[in-house]
Structures are given as C-alpha cells and as structure tokens.
Amino acid sequence: MEEKKFDPYQFIGFVLIALIMTWMLMNQQPVEEGTDAVTETETQAETVQEVAVEKNDSIQRVQLQNNFGSFVDLVQEREASEIALENEVLSFVFSNKGGQINKAHLKGYTNYLGEPLNLVEDNQSVNFNFSTLDGRNLNTADLYFTPELTEVNNEKVLTLKAALSENQWIAFRYALSPNDFMLDFSILSEGMQGVINPNNAQSLSWDLKALRNSRSVEYENRYTELTYGYEGEKVNELSIAGEDEEQVEDVQWIGYKQHFFNSILIPAYGIEKVDLSSESLVESEDKAQRYTKNYHALIPLKSNGELAHSFQWYFGPSEYKTLAQYDLGIEKSINFGWGIFGWINKSIFIPLFGFLSSFLPFGIAIIIMTIIVRLAMSPVTYKSYVSQIKMKVLKPEVDEITKKHKDDAVKRQQETMALYNKAGANPMSGCLPALLQLPVFYALFSFFPVAFALRQKSFMWADDLSSYDSVYELPFNIPFYGDHISLFPILASVAIFFYTMMTMGQQQATQQPGMPNMKFIMYLMPLMMLFFFNNYASGLSLYYFVSNLLTIILMLVIKNFVISEEKIFTQIEENKKKPKKAGGFTARLQKAMEEAEKQQKAKQKGKR
C-alpha cells in the first residue's frame, strides 16, 4: 500500500477554495425563494462575521448580509432625533426611531388650562408589521429612519427612509399642504421583493390614548368615541362606556374623536376587515385625569413584496363645515343624532346658528335662535293650551261620570269619551302638539354639546359655552352633581318649575286614575334638570332657560290676550246642542270600547 505524503499544493488549493467560497458567501445577491441551503449559508455567514469581529477590534459593527438583506444596522441603538413638519394650522414632530409622529399640535387652539392643544403628545403608536422570506417578523417601530425634507409644488414632504442599501429601503412619506388639516401618509419600498414575504400577513396598527382637553372630564368622555365609516356611506361607533371591540368589514375611514377634535385615518381604498377596540379610562370626575379613551385599530394590508400603501390622515377640529369640505364623508363622525334628529340639525340648526353667530355674539345667537324656534312652535303651543283649557272646563262633568261609574271602568271610559265627542274636545289634541315638539327638543339636545363654534366662547359669567358655567367651587364633591355650582342650570330649573306650576292645573284636569301624580312631577323635573345639567355645556342650559321662559311668556299672552275660558265654555255648550256625526279618534275609541263591553258581557253570560 502506498504511503500518503503531505502535498503542499493540495493544501494551498483547499485554502484557496475555502477563501473563494467565503468571498462568494459574503457577496451573494438575494434570491426569490428561501431554502434549507440558504438557511445553512446564513448560519455560515454569521459565523464568519463573529470571527471577523473578534479578530478586528477596530470594526465597530459588521452588517449581517445574506440573500434576504440585513436589518441589523437599522435596529442598533443610536441617538434619537426629531424632525419638524408644519404649515399655518398644524405642527408635527417626527422621531427617527419608528418614523412616528411624536407630537401633533393644532395651532390657534388651547385646552381648558390655556396650554397649547396637542392631539398627539407621546400618546400615539403607529407600527407597520411584516415578515421576511427567511421567517423573521419585523416591526417598523424598532427601525431607525433617515429623514429627508423637501418641498414639491408648495407641498412640504418629509421622507423617513430605513435603508438596507442604496437600492433597498422602506420609507414613510408624509406630505402637508398649506392651510390644511389633512396629512398625506404613505408606506413605500424599493428593492424589497426578495426580502418581504408577500404571502404572510402585513398590518398597520394604530394606538392612541385620547388626551383630555375640557374642564369636565366626565362630560368630555361622553362625546369622545371611536367612529368609523363602512360599506359606502354607513357610519357607526364603539360604546363610550367600558370596553368595546368589533371586527368591521369594508372600512372607509377610522376616527379617534376627542370631543371637539378628531384624528381620522382614511385609506386610499376600502379595507376588507379591521379590528377595532375602545376602552374608557374615566371612572369619575377627576381633576388629575389626563386621558379619556384608549383606542386601537389593527388594519391588514396586502402587497406583492413591494410596499405602496396610501392614506390620508386628518388632525383637526371636529367641526362640520371643516370636515365636509374634504368630501370624504368624515363629517358623519360628528353625532348630531340619528334619523330625523340629525336631519333637523344638519338642515336647519347648523345653517341657522352659523348665520346668526356670523354677526352676533355666540350667547346672543343662542337666545335669538331659541326665540325663532319658540315662535315657530307657537301654533303648537297654542293648540296644546286650548286643549288643556277645554279639558279643564269639562272637568266637573268628568268627575261626575267618574263618581257615577267608579266600579265600572269600561262604562266610565265610554261616557267620558261620549262627553268629549259631544263637546268637540279631544284629550289627545293636548298630547300630539307636545309630541311634535320632541324632535326639535332632542335635535337641539344633540346639537349644543357637539357645536364646535361654542368652544371657549364666553357669555355673561360663562367663560366657555361648551363647558359648565361654574360660579362657585365647592370644597367637596356631591355624587351625581359635582364639586361646583353652575348658574344656568339653576335658572333653567326655576323656569321649568314655574312652567310646570302654570300647567299643573290643566294637566290635573285630564288626569285619569293610574296616571302619575303631577305634583310629584312638578318637583322632580326641575331637580333632574339641576343635577343632570350641572356638568353639561352652559350653552345647552342657556337654551333651556330661555326656551322655558319664552314658553311661560307665550302661555301668559295666550291666556290673557288670545283666548278666554268663558268663550271656550260657551263654545263647548253650543257643541253639545249640535248633533255630532260619528267619526274622528274619539268616536272610533268609543266604538271600540262599546265592542269590548259587549264581548265582556257575552263572556260573563257564557260562564253562567
């Protein structure tokens, strides 16, 4: 057997082959599909790097390079820096870490403490999540970006780029036009088709803790909510109380409302399915409370490997005309009431109040609008009052019928209805006018709390018509009332009390057995008003005070100068003498009661 000898040429060949293979491993380009062989190559490359770092102390960092690119350099700790972007109405501060908005300031606005008003103040997190072809899950919040600020066609553009190489990068692009509350936001990439896995889920997560901006945190929290547009023109919201979450399909926009301000994300196209959640952070009125709600949205995104996701991002006042000018349907994020109530506000009260407040102080505009509304409803008030007078005139006869048939409810009701029909009186005619006023009542109840125009506008002793008008701060807190005394709710409660006293006599005239005690209601209504509205907007309390005061004046005018009880009594007596044709609600009700009585008697005979 031949003895093997050391061959120096063979040894040199092996060394050269090893060096060539090492050089190839260090300089291979990305490939389209990941394999086990590539994974093995990656491990070898990492080993080579570790050896290189150990051998050369002068090398501060060795970038991991393989077929899928390297993100090692982008996540290394470095000095954080901030970049500003602003126009005439908005000011943003961005961070180089995560490419996120650290601060969003609305110029020209302050919070209840007189401090600059910020919608974002290190309370927001926006992260793009994706995975690579070699199985790594990455989040842009962990990456460091390089900023570039330019101006294109009078539009300021900030590009924050996380680059693997000159031709491989992910970027966040923000563009802001002059005098605009809308920020264009895009997620872009180049040369990433061999890095990003298009088959795995990509998503944008948006988290925000809504900052407190109003004096009463409980009142503000009632109108701070997550709203969203979906399936074309539909709008919905999550619960304002406790925790709520939903998975919504075909989402058009997502709004994180902060009572009078809003942050709204609008995708360039409808998102198939979005996970939304909201959590109330307010348990009670607390002067130290900083946040009202905790919002979260998880938005799935799709791409072919290169990123091209476009959004618009509104940061600004929750003001109807400001939002409506974008023609995106985001003005529907303001809740003016559902159905007919919202229609009344949008079609009547918003234009009317906008017109009046354009040349009048806001408190005076509320009073004038209230006068217009009460005068418009005066025919209804008149008809209701006349009906009450008729019922009062007929009360002695109704009492006689009640006494005569106290043990026979059906007979009592029959004769009472017959009396009303003969006298030309309708007990429902006093209720229907009041029902007609309910849509207006509720519409204005929905209008004033969300009327942005009232924010920080003063009137008399109220320094902010969108908040409560405290005239005295209590050294303690009264449950359901608060730690202060508001004057407009007291005035409104007094006006309601006198109005109820004026109408109580007429209401008692029509009161039937089993109906609520009107004297109890006379005291309950003002008391509820006093407690319920102590923390509400003083503009709403001002409206109720003026409205009830005007109603009292109208009733006095109608009673003393328009109608007379003697004339109504005479008219009723004349109606009794005339033959009355069957018909109308009273006649139909009487006939139904007669049929019910016949059936009852038939059943009693059958039992015998």
The tens digit of pLDDT for each residue in 451-463 reads 999 998 999 999 9
Residue 41 backbone dihedrals phi, psi, to 5 degrees: -60, -40
| Confidence label for 588 from pLDDT (cuts 50, 70 and 90) | low
- Beta carbons within 8 Å of 158's beta carbon, 6+ residues apart: 83, 85, 94, 147, 148, 149, 173, 174, 175
Give me the residues paired with residue 204 across strands. 128, 299
Domain extents for the chain?
Answer: 8-67, 73-335, 344-577
> Are 430 and 511 a contacting pair, CB within 8 Å?
no
At which residue do the structure tokens 């009542």 appear? 441
User: In what side-by-side order are the strands of the sheet with 90-95?
Assistant: 82-86, 90-95, 101-110, 116-121
Q: Whole-angstrom Cα distance, residue 55 to residue 58?
A: 9
- DSSP for 119-148, please give it: EEES-EEEEEEEEBTTS-EEEGGG-B-EEE
Of all residues in the chain, what percent carry a pLDDT higher than 90? Answer: 35
Q: Match 């401090």 to its residue by tokens.
A: 115
Amino acid 502: pLDDT: 76
Tell which wins on pLDDT, 497 or 505. Answer: 497
pLDDT at 372 over 80: yes
Cβ neighbours, 10 Å, residue 61: 10
Q: Report the run of H or E that residue 219 belongs to, with start and end.
A: helix 217-222
Q: What is the pLDDT of residues 373-387, one digit of tens each?
A: 988 888 877 777 777
Q: Which helix (H) or strand (E) holds 350?
A: helix 350-357
Average pLDDT along the chain: 79
CA 168, CA 597: separation in Å to the nearest integer?
89
The pLDDT, as a whole number, for residue 599 is 66
73-335 CATH pick, 3.40.720.10, 2.70.98.90, 2.40.110.10, 2.30.40.10: 2.70.98.90
Residue-wise pLDDT for 179-223, tens only, equals 999 999 999 988 888 788 888 888 999 999 999 999 888 889 999
**How far is Cα 525 from Cα 494, in angstroms, rounded to an integer?**
10
**Residue 386 near residue 564, CB atoms below 8 Å:** no
CA distance 294 to 243: 9
pLDDT at 13 exceeding the cut of 70: no
Asked if 500 and 525 count as a contact pair (C-beta separation under 8 A), the reply is yes
Please tell me the pTM assigned to this model. 0.76
DSSP 227: E
Confidence of residue 598 (pLDDT cuts 50, 70, 90): low
Higher pLDDT among residues 372 and 153, named by residue: 372
